[in-house]
Amino acid sequence: MARFPVMEGAGADIVTRPVPPAQQTMRIDRVFWSHFAPNLGPGGWVVGVLLVSLGLGPGQAMLAIVIGNLVGAVPVALAAAIGPHTGLPQMEASRLVLGRQGIRLPSLLNWLYCVGWDAVNNVPAATALVALLALGGAATPFWLGLGVLAGLQMAASVYGHHVVQLLQKYVGAGLLAAFAIIGLLGLRGAGLPHAAHAASLPTFVLATAILASFNLSWASYSSDYTRYLPANTPARRIVWLALAGLLASAIPFQVLGLLTASAVHEASPMAVITQLQHQAGPLGPLVLAAIALSSITGNSVNDTTASYSLISAGLRVPRVLAAVVTASLGYLIAVFGAGRYAELYTNYLVVTLYWIAPWIGIVLTDWYVLGGRDRQASDGWTGAATIFVVSAVLTVALFSVSDLYTGPVARLLGGADVGYYVGFFGAALAYAWSRRGTIEGGGIRRPPHPADAPHRDAG
């Protein structure tokens, strides 16, 4: 009989030091579930509806879904393979290229990012929970329903990685069955949307950016949930399982949102939930319960990653305290931002690209091209950290597209959002050029190291 997982270590060293080999016993199938389950929820439906509201026709929307998801998911899957070799969470592992001081800024950004995703995920979930309780005659205020969900998410993240993985597999499998039923019911009477005119190229590029960010947002999390795998786990298996998990959860939900968009009056959680509940008929409560539960798998991941990131940012607080603070802030933001969900959701997804893209571009270039896996971490701030900051600032200043600010290059391009591509490839190429002395004769000249075997930075 399987035992309930033990609590993950609560001290800062659970982040700053590699997982001991004796504890790297995670089963490989968890890679799929940890990348699949957090994406289960109404977010994909909302994104599908947003494509129609942006003016994309059916062919354009389907193409955007395929391109956007692949562009966003591939970097995440590649990042997942870093975890077992280093035994470190994702942000902490990037100290191999950015340095121990250099990871503080992106780690702080990631912590703030996790807080924001807490709020984004919880708004539709709390709305569904309130509606479910109302069916039973219990009039529950939004803030209270939200508090119940936030409390459950916090409890899971306080217990840590092992319980979070358990939730992803078993609750995720239950949600998969529930959403499969909901999806089939939602297809009744559904059809592809019609557009009088094809959307412009800038609009199509903006749509793919939104879709890419839906998956790319997990790039700063990925190794957090693979580092307990045995260090000799084949990287190819990790990459393919992570990619399968991301695409299998994102694409079907977005297509369902696209197919049901004509019946949804606006790209908001309430409109989507109301329509799904109506189409489910007597199974309407199943819709509400599944949407409410989906936030627990997603936000337990958020809160756990946030606790790691806050420590990597230099604040050596207990992991448990960091998880509590994150969940509490996410709760407050969700309460005050619920009425502007669609606007906040669209802007938030796009804006997140601007720092994640250059960061992950540098990390993947270092790991897969320049032999960074065999390097010891610098105690300071490296040149790669400077490239990250400069790339992120220039990307926002020149290429960003948002209601608050649109960069001059983006305006010249008619509002096309190419910031992700410029940030990712610009930072990657700039870093590779700065390290050009390590590449000789088509091969890689590794930095000096006392041992030939792969090195695990001990912290």
pLDDT in tens, 105-137: 999 999 988 888 888 788 888 888 998 999 888
CB 341 within 8 A of CB 123: yes
CB atoms near residue 236 (< 10 Å): 9
Q: pLDDT tens, 234-275?
A: 999 999 999 999 999 999 888 888 887 766 766 666 777 777
Instruction: Say which CATH architecture domain 20-339 belongs to.
Output: Orthogonal Bundle (1.10)
Domain boundaries, the chain: 20-339
Q: Residue 73 has what pLDDT? A: 96
Confidence class for position 441, pLDDT limits 50, 70, 90:
very low
CB 67 within 8 A of CB 205: no
CB 293 within 8 A of CB 171: yes
Q: Residue 304 has what pLDDT? A: 94
Q: How far apart are CA 300 and CA 187, in angstroms?
A: 30
Q: Residue 361 has what pLDDT? A: 97
Q: How far apart are CA 162 and CA 248, in angstroms?
A: 23
Q: How far apart are CA 94 and CA 109, in angstroms?
A: 14
Q: Residue 455 has what pLDDT? A: 46
Burial class (CB in 10 A: 0-12, 13-18, 19+), 20: exposed
Q: Please give the model's pTM, rounded to 2 decimal places.
A: 0.88
C-alpha angle with apex 303: 419 to 178, nearest 5 degrees? 90
Question: Directed axis angle between helix 319-337 and helix 284-312, to 10°?
Answer: 130
